[in-house]
Amino acid sequence: MDRSFLSALCGSLLGFSSLGLLGFFSANPSPVPEPPKGEGGWRLLNPISYENISVFPVVASYAADTSHFLTLEEGLASGEVLVSEQGASGLSRTRDGRIIPSYSSGASVNQLVLINRGKRPLLLLAGELISGGKQDRIIGKDRIVPVGAEPLPLDVFCVEHGRWSSGANFSAAKTIVHPSVREQAAVNKDQNDVWNAVRSGTTVEGKSAAPAPRVSIEALNRVVATEAPTESYDRLYNKSKYVGGSVDSFVEEVRRRFSRETSGLKGEHIVGVVIAYGSEVAWSDIFASDELFAKYWPKLLRSYAVEALARPGYREVASRGNAEEFLSSLKGTIKEETEPGVYRWREIREGHFSQIELDALEPKPLTLHRLLLHRTS
């Protein structure tokens, strides 16, 4: 190359530098790399914070097809799913597919009878509330009920301590109980612990001088005395004027902030959330698709709000690093149950943490729901 040309070129570059070209380059640094992704290809968005709760949206670049699964709320609302007490009000299916009453043992606090007479496999999540019968109950464990299955003895927990009498038919599951109650059912599997969590609001041990919760034990006692004599979860946390009203306004503000911050996503789908109370990352629910997450999100948001109101009102925001740890799988003791060709359920415990996953096995293996929590008890 001609030396005179090189000299001219260098002179030109020096001239540009004196005019601020280097300043131009420094104002446009290299793109910042994306935060690391979890084992499912997930990543976290920035937290949406309000009072003592922080919600970290979990996004993924994929979206599995989950349209062939039926939720409990959809099934009860459409009549495709039937739930009854055991005994005279139980149900059974004849060989030609007709559903008739069955007469077996008497009603049981911790077991109902469920029939999926729809055309899609039924997805059940631990903590979903079904109202009616002799007592309101919640689903005890994540599972799938296949199409055409025999009437299922369904393990449940009571969330209405003071009633054992005939009521309306079991109705739509529009509520998921808040994390303190859900933990006692899904992890501890103890009926008395479930009742205690319903009545006390949270199972988190309060520290001295901790900021007072907005929903205190005293407030819950007042509601029991005036509006919820049977200690019904639904009346305590959804329908009462004092507690229910506080939850409604809290939910609306978090929902508004969440919608604003997650609108306009391109090429990614919201598939779950990681939840922190104050500085403590406590809970996560992640699904196989944005469609499935959207179906459960209104109920889940309300459940997280109840927990926030029942916990001490620490206003710190949890670190992103601690929240990202909830995207990685635990390495501890594994307990697993399988119904061949239908689903696989597994629980992993490591230290004070528990991870529960539900896999659909047909038409191909797919993790429909993943829960990871910091146990409170």
- Each residue's pLDDT tens digit, 327-357: 999 999 999 999 999 999 999 999 999 999 9
* Number of neighbouring beta carbons within 10 Å of residue 355: 21
Give the residue with greater pLDDT, 59 vs 97: 59
Distance CA 354, CA 305 (A): 21
Residue 10 lies in a domain: no
Burial 243-268 (b: 16+ CB within 10 A, else e): bbebbeebbeebbeebeeeeeeeeeb
In this structure, what token pair is assigned to residue 227?
Answer: 């509006």
Average pLDDT over residues 1-26: 39
DSSP assignment of 286-320 equals: EES-HHHHHHHHHHHHHHHHHHHHHS--------H
Residue 281 lies in a domain: yes
Whether 283 and 373 have beta carbons less than 8 Å apart is answered as yes
Residue 73 makes CB contacts below 8 A (sequence gap 6+) with 128, 172, 173, 174, 295, 299
pLDDT tens digits, 216-244: 999 999 999 999 999 999 999 999 998 99
Residue 86 lies in a domain: yes
Residue 36 lies in a domain: no
> At 165, is the pLDDT very low, low, confident or very high (cuts 50, 70, 90)?
confident
pLDDT of 37 reads 54
**Which residues, listed in sequence order, are joined to residue 113 by a DSSP beta bridge?**
84, 153
Percent residues over pLDDT 70 in the chain: 84
Distance CA 126, CA 309 (A): 21
pLDDT tens digits, 259-303: 999 998 999 999 999 999 999 999 999 999 999 999 999 999 999
DSSP conformational letter for 31:
P
Give the residue with greater pLDDT, 329 vs 98: 329
Distance CA 326, CA 273 (A): 10
Average pLDDT over residues 118-138: 95
Whole-prediction pTM: 0.85
Residue 312 makes CB contacts below 8 A (sequence gap 6+) with 52, 204, 206, 207, 210, 211, 212, 213, 278
Residue 142 lies in a domain: yes
Average pLDDT over residues 63-74: 94
Q: Supply the mean pLDDT for the chain.
A: 87
Residues in the chain, overall count: 377
pLDDT at 107 over 90: no
Residue 63 lies in a domain: yes
Residue 8 lies in a domain: no
Give the residue with greater pLDDT, 12 vs 325: 325
Which one, of 55, 43, 45, lies nearest residue 302 by Cα?
A: 55
Strands (E), 311-363: 333-339, 343-350, 353-360
Average pLDDT over residues 23-30: 39
Q: What is the CA radius of gyration of the chain?
A: 25
Domain enclosing residue 80, as ranges: 43-374
Number of structural domains (the chain) is: 1
Residue 26 lies in a domain: no
> At 94, is the pLDDT very low, low, confident or very high (cuts 50, 70, 90)?
low
